[in-house]
Chains A and B, each alone.
Chain A
Amino acid sequence: MNAVNYTARDYKSEVKPVWCPGCGHYSVLSSITKAFADLNLVPHQTAVVSGIGCSSRIPAYTNCYGFHSIHGRGLAIAAGIKLARPDLTVLAAGGDGDGLSIGGNHFLHNCRRNVDMTYVLMDNRVYGMTKGQPSPTTESDWDASAMAPPGGTGLSPFNPLAIALSAGANFVARGFAGDPNGTAAIIAEAIRHPGFSFVAVMSPCVTYRDEQREWKNVMRPNPAPATSDASEAARRLLVDDGYNIGVLYQGSRSPYTPKVLPNVALADLDKEFTL
């Protein structure tokens, strides 16, 4: 138990975010720091890791140990930190382009590996940092940007929650930047929950996805409470339209921990070669 009681401010650095005014990510940063405060995490024992993109700028805006890594690889870096330093609290953050496109393979495998960490995916359904290209979560008929083909990509968007669940994530939830307190509570629960916790936060892009300001009118709380039954969670996802907020699934898989074998002295390792 720490002697200090941290507030959300204690987790924010002096660096001013360069996000556009009105960007949903401000709210997610608030939620994350509030969640850290609710758990009274020690800033210097907490690591925030990201890839590349607008949302991936977040580590520098926190007062924790941060790693702004390369495109799509935040989860791999985060897993490495946690495996070498299980005593740290590790939170990975990034966007839908970073996490589900180039980062897709790492996303699959980290859900499966189930290392005890939390992944906050800020989903604005667009590549915000380049020209507004459609991302893997963009609706198939979206063509409002110059970068989207007329009529949209025609490709079905990923449902990140479905991928996380089927790949084995131990905690699956959706938040909304328009409900920072609710999202903070979800993230705190995610951090508390052992294993790989996945929280997709719908975070509107005020620059490239003007129409997302309507999200506040369509987001709704989950019709049912969180379930610990993966098949029940899967059934719910089949009819999920992407606007249900809250914790969907809390599993009971044991988090991945490297095997601990009885200690052998270094010198004794030669023995197998010695004639």
Chain B
Amino acid sequence: MTDEVGIVTSAALLTALAKRQAETAAEIYEQLTEAFVVANNLVTAEAFRELSEGGWRLFDAIQPLAGGLGPLPRWGETYPEISDPDSVHFLMPPYYAFELARRHETTTLVLLEAVAEKSADAEIRAQAQTLLELFRPRVAAIEARRNDYPKPPHGWWIDEDGPHWESEF
């Protein structure tokens, strides 16, 4: 099990890792936007589109620090829809889109908090705090958006017609 605090050996590395988290999240939200358009679930597609916009804003806001870093080590959860496959269903209402993002981006938040608290290096701890000032509002905003939606009704997942198995084979 990687030591996700100890693996951060410089402030520049931490920033790069956080920026990578933001980038991957935004890319996945874009991919999910398209997937939900194709599945004719336009309201949830719109939710993911909104999430991807916010994700890119977060990405842009993170100022990279100088330093030749080479390939980045593994750090944090990168693929929310795969890390929790239960989080995606073609019929799911927008509530769950925001819930997926909230859960995922909270994992990055938790890591940053751990680094801010436990890193041996003061500079790293400080940089973690700086990054937290970007990530905390992001997660809070996502949670607020999620709460804009009512708890989804029982049975939202029911597709009476079932899969279209004939497709194009």
Q: Hey, which bits of chain A sit against chain B, CB under 8 A? A: 16-22, 24, 26-27, 30, 52-54, 71, 129-132, 177-178, 180-181, 204, 206-208, 213, 216
Contact = CB atoms under 8 A, between A and B. Distances in A.
B82 A177 contact: yes
Contacts of A216: 82-83, 85
A131 B165 contact: yes
Nearest to B35: A21
Interface string B60-98: 000000000000001000110111011011100000000
B112 to A, nearest CB: 20
A22 B81 contact: yes
A204 B35 contact: no
Interface in B111-126: none
Nearest to A20: B90
20 contacts: A16-B37, A18-B38, A21-B41, A21-B88, A21-B89, A21-B90, A22-B88, A26-B35, A26-B81, A52-B169, A71-B169, A129-B168, A177-B82, A178-B79, A178-B82, A178-B85, A180-B79, A208-B163, A213-B85, A213-B86
Chain B interface extent, by class:
20 to 34
Contact of B165 (A17, A27, A129, A181): A129
B74 A181 contact: yes
A7 B10 CA distance: 26
Nearest to B85: A213
A27 B39 contact: no
B89 to A, nearest CB: 7
Closest 9 interchain pairs by CB? A22-B88, A213-B85, A129-B169, A131-B165, A21-B35, A21-B90, A16-B34, A178-B82, A207-B163
Given A178-B83, A216-B85, A130 B165 contact: yes
A60 B166 CA distance: 20
B74 A26 contact: no
Given A22-B88, A24-B82, A180-B79, 17 more contacts: A21-B32, A21-B89, A22-B90, A26-B35, A26-B81, A27-B79, A27-B82, A52-B169, A71-B169, A129-B167, A129-B169, A130-B167, A130-B169, A131-B165, A180-B78, A181-B78, A216-B83
B36 interface: yes
A19 B36 CA distance: 10
B166 A130 contact: yes
Nearest to B166: A130
Given A16-B34, A16-B38, A181-B74, A206 B88 contact: yes
B31 interface: yes
Contacts of B90: 20-22
A53 B165 CA distance: 11
Contacts of A204: 85
Contact of A17 (B35, B82, B168): B35
Nearest to A24: B82
Nearest to A178: B82
Contacts of B163: 20, 132, 207-208
Nearest to A12: B31
A180 B167 contact: no
A19 B32 CA distance: 11
A20 B41 CA distance: 12
A52 B166 CA distance: 13
B166 to A, nearest CB: 7
Interface in B7-35: 31-32, 34-35
